[in-house]
Structure 1
Amino acid sequence: MKEDQPICYSCLNENCFIKKHLHLEKMKQYVIKKESFVCKKSNQFITEGDSIQGLYFICSGKVKTIKTGINGREQIVRLTKNGDTIGFRGFGTSKKYLIGASALEDTVLCNFSNETMFEILQNVPEFTYALMLFYADELNKSENNIRKIAHMNVRERVIDLLLYIHRKFGQINDLIDIELSRKEIADFAGTTEEQAIRVISNLKKEMLIKTVGKRIGILNISELRSEIMEHKYF
């Protein structure tokens, strides 16, 4: 479903790659080429293995990126919000998306085609340099996540996830501002739904978190941090 294109120059997403480089005269010719659309909650807009159709930037909303694991099991590899970039894995080196992506809530997405992105990368060195640093940072995060999964037990992985979404999305009215099912929590933490439910139940009994439906609120962030401090949470 197409909608009026959000105006990049009045966009409030200051961490968006496009927004950050709008002060450059060269960017004007590329911004007008983007397409915007609404992806409804639970709908998928990138299918793993499909041909790459450029990069997506979140104007508003929340998205999960997924990777198919052993026996076809879905593994959530990233949660994203306003201003974040989607579809960069494999971009420029592969002809197919290495991940899938779907909306966690009604989300407005901006898409820049392969052709437009390659033109930007070839003609706007400031943008290219920033994207290179972004890739380096994402690689570092991926390596840290692999290490954490290898060394953390199930409880620690669930706690690490709760602290991550608390940092990224914040808390409103004592509840983290993202709605995730217990299965999605398990898929991101690398465990089973039953184990995730058990850990969440225990954390509630210990008065470290609270739940309202699918929403979770952290009640004692310092205690949760201390449990995974040895894994270098910070």
Structure 2
Amino acid sequence: MKEELPICYTCINENCFIKKHLHLEQMKQYVVRKQTFVCKKSNSFIKEGDPIKGLYFICSGKVKTIKTGINGREQIVRLTKNGDTVGFRGFGTSKRYLIGASALEDTVLCNFSNETMLEILQSIPEFTYALMLFYADELNKSENNIRKIAHMNVRERVIDLLLYIHRKFGQMNDLIDIELSRKEIADFAGTTEEQAIRVISTLKKEMLIKTVGKKIGILAVAQLRSEIMEHKYFSI
């Protein structure tokens, strides 16, 4: 369902790629081409293997990006929020999305088509340069995630994930501002649901975290950080 929303110039997401470049006169002609729509909680707006339809920018809400692994198991590769970009994996180099994406809550998305994005990249060097740096940063994060899976044990990977979502989404009323099922935690930490549940239960008994439904709150950030400090890349 499409919904009319304020134009990009009134958007409050200062970290959005589009918003950051609205000071450039050339951007005016491209902003009017965007399509805005609402993706309901648990619904997907990108299916892995579908033809690429440009880039998505989150106006409001939260999204998980997934990749299908061995035996069809989903691996969460990224969690995103207001202002973040979704669908960039494979953009410009592939005809199909290399990932899938679905809403963790009702989410408002802005879509810029392939044609529009390619025109922006070819005509606005400042935007192209910023996107190149973004890709480089994401590559570094992906490499660190591979190292974590190889060198961290299950407890450390779950702790690393909890610190990551704590930093990215913040904490309100002693609870991290995102709902993730135990399976989603396992899918992101690269472990099984049973192992994730076991680690969370242990951390609760140790009074390091608290839980209310699907939400988790961190009670001892410094202590959790100290457990994975030797890896030198926590909270990526």
TM-score (norm 2): 0.98
Q: Any runs of at least 4 consecutive aligned residues in structure 1 with deviations exceeding 6 A, and if so which?
A: none
Give deviations 1:117-146, integer Å, cap 9, x for gaps: 000000010000000000000000000110
Give 2:190's aligned amino acid.
G
Question: Structure 1: which 5+ residue stretches go unaligned?
Answer: none
Whether the aligned pair in 2 keeps the contact of 1:15 and 1:83 (CA below 8 Å) is: yes
SS for the counterpart of 2:79 is strand
Distance between the aligned counterparts of 2:35 and 2:181, measured in 1? Answer: 31
Distance between the aligned counterparts of 2:5 and 2:95, measured in 1? Answer: 27
2:140 corresponds to which residue? Answer: 140
Distance between the aligned counterparts of 1:193 and 1:10, measured in 2? Answer: 42
* 2:157 aligned with 1:157: yes
Give deviations 1:135-172, integer Å, cap 9, x for gaps: 00000000011011100000000000000000000000
1:211 corresponds to which residue? Answer: 211
CA-CA distance at 1:20 after TM superposition: 0.1
SS for the counterpart of 2:6 is coil
1:227 corresponds to which residue? Answer: 227
Report matched runs for 1:112-127 at 5 Å.
112-127=112-127
CA-CA distance at 1:44 after TM superposition: 0.3
Give 1:77's aligned amino acid.
V
1:30 corresponds to which residue? Answer: 30
Whether the aligned pair in 1 keeps the contact of 2:144 and 2:233 (CA below 8 Å) is: no
Whether the aligned pair in 2 keeps the contact of 1:6 and 1:36 (CA below 8 Å) is: no
CA-CA distance at 1:7 after TM superposition: 1.4
Distance between the aligned counterparts of 1:229 and 1:160, measured in 2? Answer: 10
Distance between the aligned counterparts of 1:213 and 1:173, measured in 2? Answer: 14
2:53 corresponds to which residue? Answer: 53
Distance between the aligned counterparts of 1:66 and 1:155, measured in 2? Answer: 22
Distance between the aligned counterparts of 1:171 and 1:57, measured in 2? Answer: 23
Report matched runs for 1:44-83 at 5 Å.
44-83=44-83
Whether the aligned pair in 2 keeps the contact of 1:176 and 1:216 (CA below 8 Å) is: yes
Give 1:16's aligned amino acid.
C
Distance between the aligned counterparts of 2:228 and 2:6, measured in 1? Answer: 41
Give the RMSD, CA atoms, in angstroms. 0.6
TM-score (norm 1): 0.99
1:104 corresponds to which residue? Answer: 104
Whether the aligned pair in 2 keeps the contact of 1:154 and 1:191 (CA below 8 Å) is: yes
Whether the aligned pair in 2 keeps the contact of 1:65 and 1:79 (CA below 8 Å) is: yes
1:14 corresponds to which residue? Answer: 14
1:183 corresponds to which residue? Answer: 183
Distance between the aligned counterparts of 2:6 and 2:155, measured in 1? Answer: 42
Distance between the aligned counterparts of 2:139 and 2:94, measured in 1? Answer: 17
1:43 corresponds to which residue? Answer: 43
CA-CA distance at 1:15 after TM superposition: 0.4
2:172 corresponds to which residue? Answer: 172
Distance between the aligned counterparts of 1:168 and 1:233, measured in 2? Answer: 15
Distance between the aligned counterparts of 1:55 and 1:104, measured in 2? Answer: 18
Counting aligned pairs with the same residue, the percent is 89
